């Protein structure tokens, strides 16, 4: 009986050490527990941030992105683009992206596909 209790206590100690890290001199249990909770909080904050950045664009964000791209390529102004529907903007954007992707520089033997964002 006593041996079983000693084994159980040793297992609990080992689990606590694994959970809270090695016992450093000058640190007590409360300090290690606070450090563990802070690490856990930081980990979940990073997970939430990654989930937020990996979210797909909304319809409005896509329209704004495509309009900005078309404007900066010099083919349209924002005033002209605001008059167009979403489908027309998307068609013009895809046509422009396709023409840029198919561009072959003079003297090049083969076409180099540029990586670009996919909407």
Predicted confidence at residue 63, as pLDDT, reads 93
Residue 63 and residue 25 in one domain:
no
**Nearest-5° Cα angle at 23, 33 to 26:** 85
The answer to whether residue 112 is domain-embedded is no
> Model pTM greater than 0.75?
no
In the chain, how many domains are there? 2
Average pLDDT, the chain: 83
Domain containing 81 equals: 59-101
Residue with tokens 């909080």: 41
**96, 75 in Cβ contact below 8 A?**
yes
Q: Are 95 and 70 in contact (CB under 8 A)?
A: no
- Could you tell me the pLDDT band of residue 114, with boundaries at 50, 70 and 90? low
pLDDT in tens, 14-41: 776 666 566 566 677 788 888 889 999 9
Q: Please, which pLDDT band fits residue 11 given cuts at 50, 70 and 90?
A: confident
Residues 70 and 30 in one domain: no
């Amino acid at each position: 009986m006593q041996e079983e209790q000693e084994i159980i206590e040793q297992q609990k100690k080992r689990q606590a050490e694994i959970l809270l890290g090695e016992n450093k001199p000058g640190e007590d249990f409360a300090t290690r527990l606070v450090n563990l909770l802070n690490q856990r909080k930081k980990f979940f904050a990073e997970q939430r941030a990654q989930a937020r950045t990996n979210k797909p664009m909304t319809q409005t964000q896509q329209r704004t992105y495509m309009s900005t791209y078309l404007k900066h390529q010099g083919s349209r102004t924002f005033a002209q683009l605001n008059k167009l529907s979403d489908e027309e903007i998307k068609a013009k954007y895809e046509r422009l992206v396709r023409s840029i992707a198919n561009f072959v520089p003079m003297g090049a033997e083969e076409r180099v596909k540029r990586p670009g964002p996919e909407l």
